[in-house]
Chains A and B, each alone.
Chain A
Amino acid sequence: AAGVIQSPRHLIKEKRETATLKCYPIPRHDTVYWYQQGPGQDPQFLISFYEKMQSDKGSIPDRFSAQQFSDYHSELNMSSLELGDSALYFCASSLALGQGVFGPGTRLTVL
């Protein structure tokens, strides 16, 4: 069965650079949830989208923005990167704001 696809799987950036993470939901899923997981930490909810509209907002920094496109894929844009942004970033997709299936994650390292 098709799963959630995240790209890139690994990303290395310098401080103050920008990064864009992409999430491709399971086919026919219309909801995307984004989470950030620091080393040894629990996942923290960032933001979610349903039918291309923001549905909930968590602890997403102002330096980050996200959107969901007409094909339901979502992108998380991160600017002015800081060392503390180094983490695993997961997205989860679902149908109609349902319980999400998690993707494999993107590991972001900020040097």
Chain B
Amino acid sequence: GESVGLHLPTLSVQEGDNSIINCAYSNSASDYFIWYKQESGKGPQFIIDIRSNMDKRQGQRVTVLLNKTVKHLSLQIAATQPGDSAVYFCAENRNSNSGYALNFGKGTSLLVTP
């Protein structure tokens, strides 16, 4: 029979509000982190990245915060729009010596309601 997938954590926000999606990582040696957005049936889409020598990085409507002390990463989306509805993954670089193969964290499903 068909396997049942995990139920993703879901964050529901109203259009126009700010969203915060959190991620914990385990490898204290990780030096590069990325946030991806994935819409249903599509490949992950790069949103923003941050290196371990930074605490914060801002893009257009998005901010990533890195707390190395507690190994925590967050993605803040300002003025959330319906088009932001998707699953969001954080990812860390597996091995900085062999390119950008990534370990992904568990996704969070963001649902934006009008």
- Contact surface of A with B, Cβ cutoff 8 Å: 4, 31, 33, 38-45, 48, 50, 55-56, 58, 83-84, 86, 88, 90, 92, 94, 97-105, 107
B104 lies within 8 A of A55 (CB): no
Q: Within residues 66 to 114 of chain B, which ones have a CB less than 8 A from any CB in chain A?
A: 89, 94-95, 98-107
Contact of A56 among B45, B49, B94 (CB under 8 A): B94
Interface residues of B, count at CB 8 A: 28
> Roughly how many angstroms separate A88 CA and B102 CA in the complex, as a whole number?
16
> Roughly how many angstroms separate A50 CA and B106 CA in the complex, as a whole number?
27
> Roughly how many angstroms separate A100 CA and B101 CA in the complex, as a whole number?
8
Could you say which residues of chain B place their CB within 8 Å of the CB of A84?
Answer: 3
> Roughly how many angstroms separate A55 CA and B98 CA in the complex, as a whole number?
6
Could you say which residues of chain A place their CB within 8 Å of the CB of B43?
Answer: 4, 90, 92, 102-105
* B7 close to chain A: CB less than 8 A: yes
Q: Which 7 residue pairs of A and B lie closest in terms of their CB atoms, listed nearest first?
A: A40-B5, A97-B99, A102-B43, A39-B5, A42-B104, A56-B98, A56-B101
